[in-house]
Amino acid sequence: MALRIAQYAVATATHDRPARVVNGTDITNAASINTVNTTGLVPTINLGGVFEYPRLVLFIDPKTFATICLNMPDTVGGAPRAIPCPHRAQGLWSGRARALAVSDRAIADAAAKGRAVSGADVVAAAKVYGVTLRHKPTFPAGRGAIVQFSTLVEMGPTRKFSVNNCVQLPMTAYGIPKPVPC
């Protein structure tokens, strides 16, 4: 079913004028058409969602929680391929959510005090969420910075590894954190 969704998305991109490479919107749209996605697969990691795997799409079957991964073509009309789901990509995706949650909390706490986020705000928020910071950020309020978060990923009883996610924090009091490559 995942390949059927991907092929529909590729066909959509190919038939646009001018023809183009499939993008995340094409995947989302194809997955939302119930006559294409008859089993209800949910695109969890979409194109560009994990910087290190820019052409990866990960679907989850909500009935069985099985994961299905595809490597999408980077050429117009190219064929998608089913691949084993990279554990590292899954770890980066879950770590990214935690890094953004910490960043949001740090920004909100600083804004409640009437100022922009600082490194100390990030350290305090990371403590609340139990998230490890790769390096303790020390930037002052209003400076903004890229903060690197480290996450220990456990995939089964024997596979453990660390991933790093980076977030650009804003210089303004009410800015939005942005994931960036490390």
Evaluated on CA atoms 48, 53, 59, 65, the torsion sign reads negative
Evaluated on CA atoms 147, 49, 177, 95, the torsion sign reads negative
Q: Are residues 148 and 112 in the same domain?
A: yes
Q: Is 57 helix (H, G, I), strand (E, B) or coil?
A: strand
Region 62-77 average pLDDT: 96
The predicted model scores a pTM of 0.87
Given a cut of 90, whether residue 95 has pLDDT beyond it is: yes
Q: Are residues 59 and 133 in the same domain?
A: no
**159-169, strands of its sheet edge to edge:** 132-133, 145-155, 159-169, 178-180
pLDDT tens digits for 160-174?
A: 999 999 999 999 998
Average model confidence (pLDDT) for the chain?
95
Q: What is the pLDDT of residue 157?
A: 85
Region 43-63 average pLDDT: 96
Q: What is the pLDDT of residue 32?
A: 97
Q: Which domain holds residue 146?
A: 88-180
**42-45, strands of its sheet edge to edge:** 42-45, 56-60, 67-71, 81-83
Q: Are residues 111 and 62 in the same domain?
A: no
Q: What is the pLDDT of residue 42?
A: 97
Classify residue 59 by burial, with Cβ atoms within 10 Å: 0-12, 13-18, 19+: buried
> What residues pair up with 162 in beta bridges, in sequence order?
152
Given a cut of 90, whether residue 18 has pLDDT beyond it is: yes
